[in-house]
Structure 1
Amino acid sequence: MMAWRISLRLLRRDWRSGELYLLSAALILTVAAITAVGFFTDRVEATMERQGSELIAADLAIESSSPLPASFQDEAETRGLARARLLEFRSMAVADRAPQLVQIKAVDPAYPLRGQLRLRDGFDSPERAVLGGPPTGEIWVESRLLRLLGIDIGAMLSLGESRLRIGAILSHEPDEGGSLFNLAPRVLMNHADLDATGLIGPASRATYKLLLAGDAVTVDGFKGWVEPRRSPNTSLNDASDARPEFASAVDRASRFLRLATLVTLLVAGSAIALASHRLVERQTDAVAVMRCLGAPRHLLIRIFVLRLVLFGLIASLLGCLVGWLGQLGLAAALSDWFPADLPSASLAPVVVGVATGMIALLGFALPPLVQLARVPPLRALRRDLGTPRASAALTLAAAGLALSLLIVWQANDFALAWKLLVGVLGALASLILVVLALVRLAGGLAGRARGIWRLGLAALARRPSGAVLQIAGFGIGILALLLLAVVRVDLLRTWQDSLPAGAPNTFLINIQPQEVVPLKQFLGESGIETAELYPMIRGRLVRINANEVKPSDYENPRAEQLATREFNLSYGDKSQPDNRIVAGAWWTDAAAPPQFSVEEGIAETLGIKLGDELAFWVSGHEVSGPVTSLREVQWDSFNVNFFVTASPALLGGEAATFITSFYLPTDREAVIPELARRFPSVTPLDVDAILKQVRQVVDRGVLAVEYVFLFTLAAGLLVMYAGIQASLEDRRIEHGILRTLGAGRRALLGSLAVEFTAAGLLAGLLASVFAEATGWLLAEQLFGLEFSFNPTLWVIGVFGSGLAIGLAGTLATYPLLIRPPLQTLRRAG
């Protein structure tokens, strides 16, 4: 009880004296970064858990790329389950000759079986819930479509060969959560109006769904009945695994954001360590007095630990509050990705935040504080004894253990955590060595400099450990911002500039076989040079040799995703012009035996080799053949290309649609509305518009990461301030001596400006070098792009950092120059 009372008393005293402000700021910042992401992802996951069946608008959804057997509906009716049909596909909608790609969902009146549809009668009208889908002759559309086409409710919209009236704005669908990155505005129509549009043919690219609802026992019984009867391209989704692609995307995004917060932890940990050393120096005299009064070492250690724990709990809770406020900004940055009515977060992120704060505090701050127990009683009389120094090995071990625990925890994947940890430790070691070399260089220049330049550079080299922490911490923050704000833009611009002039910018998909000849004729009459039209068939990879393809057999996330999706297959007697055979040989003529050619990248991902037997489920049956060649594909040419191509003997008899791409000049854009009128089932895809929408999605994600890295930047500022505060006592004595020896305030102020500007320039130089190296690595090695030097990056990184840190550091230490030197020397004695 004595230890508790003393700990509380000392904690109150330290807080009132301002001793803990810096340490609390570093800890609050760390916890805020962790919990801001934690609160946000918790709200998204709570949405998925709360909605449950609403995410699929039913208790069970059967999904396929081909029409579902009528026996499924008959069996569901026999079992007394509620049923609703649903068909999703993309097509062109036309209003007043203005075309727009839309995502169409044709539903029965019973849709949705779970959840509610919500509509608005105008842009500013309140929402209202409805019990079923739109009536015949009417459609409900997303507000984005009205803005894109410049129309309003009541206008007529052409879908294929039908004209339907827009009856309301579609504000919420219970199963819209699956369209995480839906690039096309949504349109909801009655299933009874579908045939009249003429948009769906035998091989059209569409998703067929049968929604079912009922009591759990009946649903489970039906699921057991349909499982052995479903084809390989048919999937079953229930409330427990609703929208797996959505859940997977959320998991990847949240994991990446959580790992991004570790950068903040890494930088803020330096601030915690510096602030702890500063606190130790300020506490030394008080501890010496306690030792003189008979306090044993074990009591002092208990007091320090209890005080640290109490302080950590309070600061961590404050950090959780800041994190809760911070997640509001993150939710706003990603508002287009997730529903606007996210539920409140649980208390789980608070537990995570407090635990993170305590691990960080104990790992980075406990070793220097425990050393206070070794302060001798004689220190009360002899200040020259100084403060006992903590073991460097113990300090590094504790910090490394804390960092390792937090990386493993946040990564939620031991293999990934191990790689990250090795990478982080290697990067830190390299960073420290580079900074030490730069500091030594500054010390060497100090010997040749004169006046304030010599004083400033010598001060930087005189405290190498503090300089390393300051420069490395702030350099990491600047590096993160340079990568996101400059390098990312450079890579995107380089990629865009690498596209050849006249590259295809328009794709036509869903071309029916009977439309191939008239479509070619139409495009020729319109003055458009078309590439060849290629057949396209949907098929799911079900077997490689004798091994069934199962997503669970792959550790690579991309391979796992490929194992669950349907491929776009094609066939032909010759390879595409921009493909290059890298292994094996292409078949010589149309009469060649059944065989496959596979793109080399996907072959490597799925472990496919020359000679392997591949089996695909196509149009209700299995087709198979050997792999006789591997191809290198130039995907950035924007020509039509496929992962897997077959000989005509293998797929030539299957029902197929056709696809082509061509360059559409700006002055020929009027061709698209006429094409949509004459060929209503053909879907044009504007590459430029799609890339713009993709870029908007990516920019949202980058904005979220940049938002998280603002915590890192703040942590970098804290490191700088903590470094200044940690050396404040030494600076006070130095300045007092220099003032006594005749140095003026202006000279000392100039030396401070030189010291901190030099530190900022070194940090900016370090960040710029690493950012440029990262950009080169990504461009040359990963994307195969020509890397170009960007002088703007160096201007922002080096000179911007030098100006910011120089100004901030000079202002922070200016009060030292106001104090009379005699007062400073008396205090030091």
Structure 2
Amino acid sequence: MTLLRYAWQSLGREWRSGELRVLAIALVIAVAAVTSVGFFTDRVQKAINLQAAELLAADLSISSSQPLDPQFAEEAQRQGLITARYVSFPSVLVSESDDALAELKAVSASWPLRGQARISAQELGGDHVADSGPPPGEAWVEARLLALLDVQLGDKIWVGDAPVRVTHVLTYEPDRGGDVFQLAPRLMFSLEDLPATELLGPGSRVSHRFLLAGDEAAIAAYRSWAEPRLVSGQRLEGVSDARPELRVAITRGEQFLGLAALMSVLLAGAAVAVAARHYSERQADTSAIMRCLGATQRFVLQVFILRVLMLALLASGVGLLLGFAAQNVLARLLAGWFTLSLPLPSLTPVFTGLAVGILTAVGFALPALLRLGQVPPLRVLRRDLGAPPPAIWLVLLLALGTLGGLLLWQSGDPRLAGWVLAGAAVMVAILWGVAWLMVRLLAPLRSHGGIALRFGLANLSRRGALSAVQLSAFGLGIMALLLLALVRVDLLANWEQSLPEDAPNHFMINVQPDQVGPLRDLFLARGLDAPVYYPMIRGRYTRINNDPVRPEQFSDPRAERLVNREFNLSVADRDLQADNRIVAGQWWTQESDQPGWSVEEGLADTLGIALGDVLEFSVAGERISAPVTSLRSVEWDSFNVNFFVLGSPGLLDEQPATFITSFHLDEASAPLLRDAIRQFPSITVLDVRALMQQVRDIMDRATLAVEYVFLFTLAAGLTVLFAAIQSTRQLRRRESAILRTLGAARLQVIKGLVTEFAVMGGLAGLLASLGATVVGMILAAQIFDLPYRPDPLLWVIGVGGGAAGIALAGWLGTRSALRQPPMSTLGQGQ
């Protein structure tokens, strides 16, 4: 208790004297930055997940070929979840004048649980939202079904034995994105009308869907309960099980937000490390006096550690309040940008903020504090006896261990955390090494130039180690600012441009070989570019390396589903599509006539397929086998036609095939679709604009969130610069006093200091520009899988802005020292 009381009392005295304020400010801003990022990203990610939940019209979905056991609904009710049901199946519809194949969807009154449907009372345009499905006796249909049945709104059609009246055109289903490749246009009606249709019987191709929505904890608990009770033919889906296009957008959005949080953690550690080093140097006299008064080395060390821990708790509390206030104000400012209101954050960022404050203080400040216990009492008489330098292995172990743990905790992505940690360690080492080398190279120049330049260069070279530390801190801070200001913009712009406005928004499938030519002519006749048609062959994956492939041998449910169904295979020519990239093996060349398969890398990982494996597919009763000659990465969010498995030229030429294509069509060209369907009734045109809008919404919201989240990270970067300048404030005050005592004019001293900071800022900007370029390229290639071309403006702003900014910041940070009379400074023994 005596130790705690003394540490608390001394903390108050130190605070009043200003010794701990730099460290406290660094901790407060660090925790506020990390916490605000945590609170805001927590809310934004929840909002993104809610938006993505529209893919299912729910938070969780269970699909089955048979009606679910009542226990699933009973458990959902017990856990307080809201539920809905729908049944979908293909059937032939009959009108007064025609009949057509359609995909029927009978929905319960509570559908949809997430999102809203959109319907229109006219065939084109003028749609509005609908919070529930059609009432009994009514039906909503897609516009192309009106053309196939030759009916208008208000007409009656027969769904099996039940007549229903077509009242609205269905323009958008919130859960359509999860099943865009339907074989026929949609008709939606009430689940209450389903028994009267008498369409369901033994052998019917029907899919039952049970939808659930609720809070995260209840959904997670229900998922854990339901998964072991699913039987063959049943599948549980959540937001994370989305289509590849949407899943890629969600993942990249979360990665960008995670990067914002990681940058805050990295800069927080740098700021605290610099501030703690300055604090330990200032406390060497205090430690020596305590040792002279009888305090043991252990007692001195415990006092300083407890003092910093208490400060960390107080600073963390203040940082939590500032972080929550900052994100709350930000959420209010951005309320108009989000169609969904941002959910309340969880308590996780609170614990994260406290942990960041304490672990950052301990991990980055402890190496410097451990020196204080070793200050010899003789320092009271001999000021040259300071604390011994901390062990390099201890500094590196604590810093890297703390930073690695915080990065992994913040990101939740070991790969992202690993790259950032490795990059940070390498960049800090390079920054310090190059900074030390630059300081040494400047030494011969200290005798050249004017008085201000010589004075500034002399200061840099005379304090070689300290200048290298400052230069490294400045370089790290400027590098972070460059990443935030320029590289971030380039990466986000490249991400948004990955889905251009003219990206394909329609797919056409079930095109017969003799229809390809006339359909191309139809496009050309309308002045449009004819799309490229790709052959699509249905085949079942049966063997790998002559071993049979069975669904039960896979523990992954997705792998079991893939093996249990037919694949859409295709044949690729010698040219690889622009949105595909070979990651292993070789693409087919003109000289190679050997048959082979090219497999998408994600599918290969799921099914355990490796380069060189011989795969066999059963196509129309014929076995076709070939080795895997390449693995590909596919940009699924490009909305181009892509396949999981491609065959080499000639491998599947003799097999029956239909054709598929994708194309962009604006509203003015929409009549082309009706003409194509009337001329070729067997084709199916799929409108994926709703899914594309889902992807664009996620991109826009994630980009906007990142833009503002990085404002908080900016504060952490500025803290590094502030702490680096303050670390030599007392030293510069004493040097200025000595120079002025020796006759130097105040203006000469100011010019010398500004020159020193300008040179240091220019050198730091040069290092930072190199670091930001390298880090940007690594992030683009290894994390976000995006193209990145360094902007030459980055170097201009880095070097010029670094010199001007650090010179200004240095002058502002030290001008108070120049205002004090020299005798006052020298009389304090500072």
Common fold, TM-score beyond 0.5? yes
Cα RMSD of the aligned pairs, angstroms, is: 6.1
Q: Which residue does 1:227 correspond to in 2?
A: 231
**Structure-2 change in CA distance of 1:654 and 1:30 (3 Å):** farther
SS at match of 2:509: strand
Give distance in 2, aligned partners of 1:397 and 1:295.
Answer: 29
Q: How does 1:93-112 map onto structure 2 within 5 Å?
A: 107-112=105-110
Q: Which residue does 1:721 correspond to in 2?
A: 722
The percent of aligned pairs where both chains have the same amino acid is: 34
SS at match of 2:449: coil
One-letter amino acid matched to 1:626: S
> 8 Å contact 2:117–2:129 — kept in the other structure?
yes
Q: Which of 660, 675, 694 pairs up with 1:658?
A: 660
One-letter amino acid matched to 1:536: M
Q: Which residue does 1:94 correspond to in 2?
A: none
Displacement of 1:110 in angstroms is 0.7
Q: How does 1:59-138 map onto structure 2 within 5 Å?
A: 61-63=61-63, 69=65, 72-73=66-67, 84-85=85-86, 107-112=105-110, 115=113, 132-133=133-134
> 8 Å contact 1:87–1:208 — kept in the other structure?
yes
Q: How does 1:730-745 map onto structure 2 within 5 Å?
A: 730-745=731-746
Select between 332-341 and 676-685 the one with higher mean Cα deviation: 332-341
Displacement of 1:438 in angstroms is 2.4
**Structure-2 change in CA distance of 1:378 and 1:561 (3 Å):** farther
Q: Which residue does 1:435 correspond to in 2?
A: 435
Q: Which residue does 2:2 correspond to in 1?
A: 2
Q: Which residue does 2:78 correspond to in 1?
A: none
**Structure-2 change in CA distance of 1:207 and 1:302 (3 Å):** farther
**Structure-2 change in CA distance of 1:750 and 1:224 (3 Å):** closer
Q: How does 1:117-516 map onto structure 2 within 5 Å?
A: 132-133=133-134, 161=147, 190-191=188-189, 210-211=209-210, 227-228=231-232, 230=233, 236-237=235-236, 254=254, 257-258=257-258, 260-328=260-328, 340-377=340-377, 379-380=379-380, 382=381, 384-385=383-384, 387-393=386-392, 394-410=394-410, 412=412, 421-483=421-483, 485-487=485-487, 508-510=507-509, 512-513=511-512, 516=516
**Structure-2 change in CA distance of 1:52 and 1:790 (3 Å):** closer
Displacement of 1:611 in angstroms is 5.8
**Structure-2 change in CA distance of 1:13 and 1:487 (3 Å):** closer
Give distance in 2, aligned partners of 1:640 and 1:659.
Answer: 6
SS at match of 2:23: helix
**Structure-2 change in CA distance of 1:22 and 1:466 (3 Å):** same
For these two proteins, the number of residue pairs brought into alignment is 749
> 8 Å contact 1:334–1:701 — kept in the other structure?
no
One-letter amino acid matched to 2:717: G
Displacement of 1:23 in angstroms is 0.9
> 8 Å contact 1:116–1:131 — kept in the other structure?
no
Q: Which string of whole-angstrom CA distances, capped at 9 and with x for unpartnered residues, describes residues 204-231 of structure 1?
A: xx99652278999999999889723x2x
> 8 Å contact 1:112–1:133 — kept in the other structure?
no
Give distance in 2, aligned partners of 1:825 and 1:17.
Answer: 18
One-letter amino acid matched to 2:745: G
Q: Which string of whole-angstrom CA distances, capped at 9 and with x for unpartnered residues, describes residues 20-63 of structure 1?
A: 22212221233234333433455578789999999956797444
Q: How does 1:665-684 map onto structure 2 within 5 Å?
A: 670-676=668-674, 678-679=676-677, 683=685
Q: Which string of whole-angstrom CA distances, capped at 9 and with x for unpartnered residues, describes residues 92-125 of structure 1?
A: xxxxxxxxxxxx9975341546847779999xxx
Q: Which residue does 1:101 correspond to in 2?
A: none
Give distance in 2, aligned partners of 1:60 and 1:686.
Answer: 22
Q: Which residue does 1:612 correspond to in 2?
A: 614
Displacement of 1:739 in angstroms is 0.8
SS at match of 1:814: helix
**Structure-2 change in CA distance of 1:495 and 1:21 (3 Å):** closer
Give distance in 1, aligned partners of 2:555 and 2:795.
Answer: 42
Give distance in 1, aligned partners of 2:829 and 2:366.
Answer: 27
Give distance in 1, aligned partners of 2:459 and 2:33.
Answer: 33
Displacement of 1:361 in angstroms is 0.6
SS at match of 1:190: strand
Q: Is 1:822 the counterpart of 2:826 in the alignment? A: no
Displacement of 1:698 in angstroms is 4.3
**Structure-2 change in CA distance of 1:329 and 1:671 (3 Å):** same
SS at match of 1:384: coil
Displacement of 1:679 in angstroms is 3.0
Displacement of 1:733 in angstroms is 1.4
> 8 Å contact 1:121–1:168 — kept in the other structure?
yes
TM-score, normalised to structure 2, is 0.71
Give distance in 1, aligned partners of 2:42 and 2:236.
Answer: 23
> 8 Å contact 1:610–1:630 — kept in the other structure?
yes
> 8 Å contact 2:40–2:327 — kept in the other structure?
yes
Displacement of 1:247 in angstroms is 9.1
Select between 781-790 and 28-37 the one with higher mean Cα deviation: 781-790
Displacement of 1:300 in angstroms is 2.5
> 8 Å contact 2:31–2:356 — kept in the other structure?
yes
Give distance in 2, aligned partners of 1:471 and 1:629.
Answer: 52
One-letter amino acid matched to 1:11: L
One-letter amino acid matched to 2:530: T
Give distance in 1, aligned partners of 2:530 and 2:319.
Answer: 60
SS at match of 2:344: coil
One-letter amino acid matched to 2:742: L
Q: Is 1:804 the counterpart of 2:802 in the alignment? A: no
SS at match of 1:733: helix
SS at match of 2:235: strand
Displacement of 1:738 in angstroms is 1.0
> 8 Å contact 1:181–1:697 — kept in the other structure?
no
> 8 Å contact 2:452–2:752 — kept in the other structure?
yes
Give distance in 1, aligned partners of 2:602 and 2:793.
Answer: 38
Q: Which string of whole-angstrom CA distances, capped at 9 and with x for unpartnered residues, describes residues 765-788 of structure 1?
A: 112223344566789999999987
One-letter amino acid matched to 1:679: I
Displacement of 1:314 in angstroms is 1.2
SS at match of 2:388: coil
> 8 Å contact 1:272–1:361 — kept in the other structure?
yes
Q: How does 1:750-829 map onto structure 2 within 5 Å?
A: 750-773=751-774, 790-828=791-829
**Structure-2 change in CA distance of 1:172 and 1:611 (3 Å):** closer
Q: Which residue does 1:749 correspond to in 2?
A: 750
SS at match of 1:471: helix
Select between 469-478 and 577-586 the one with higher mean Cα deviation: 577-586
SS at match of 2:345: coil
Select between 423-432 and 540-549 the one with higher mean Cα deviation: 540-549
> 8 Å contact 2:227–2:236 — kept in the other structure?
no
Give distance in 2, aligned partners of 1:697 and 1:510.
Answer: 27
TM-score, normalised to structure 1, is 0.71
Gaps of 5+ in 2: 75-82, 91-101, 121-127, 155-165, 195-204
Give distance in 1, aligned partners of 2:563 and 2:536.
Answer: 19
SS at match of 2:383: helix
One-letter amino acid matched to 2:509: N
> 8 Å contact 2:487–2:772 — kept in the other structure?
yes
Displacement of 1:749 in angstroms is 1.3
Displacement of 1:479 in angstroms is 3.0
Q: Which residue does 1:625 correspond to in 2?
A: 624
SS at match of 1:743: coil
SS at match of 2:325: helix
Displacement of 1:191 in angstroms is 3.6
> 8 Å contact 1:570–1:642 — kept in the other structure?
yes
Give distance in 2, aligned partners of 1:443 and 1:168.
Answer: 81
Displacement of 1:289 in angstroms is 4.2
SS at match of 1:322: helix
Give distance in 2, aligned partners of 1:271 and 1:453.
Answer: 29
**Structure-2 change in CA distance of 1:495 and 1:421 (3 Å):** closer
Give distance in 2, aligned partners of 1:293 and 1:791.
Answer: 60
Gaps of 5+ in 1: 90-103, 141-155, 196-205
**Structure-2 change in CA distance of 1:812 and 1:83 (3 Å):** closer
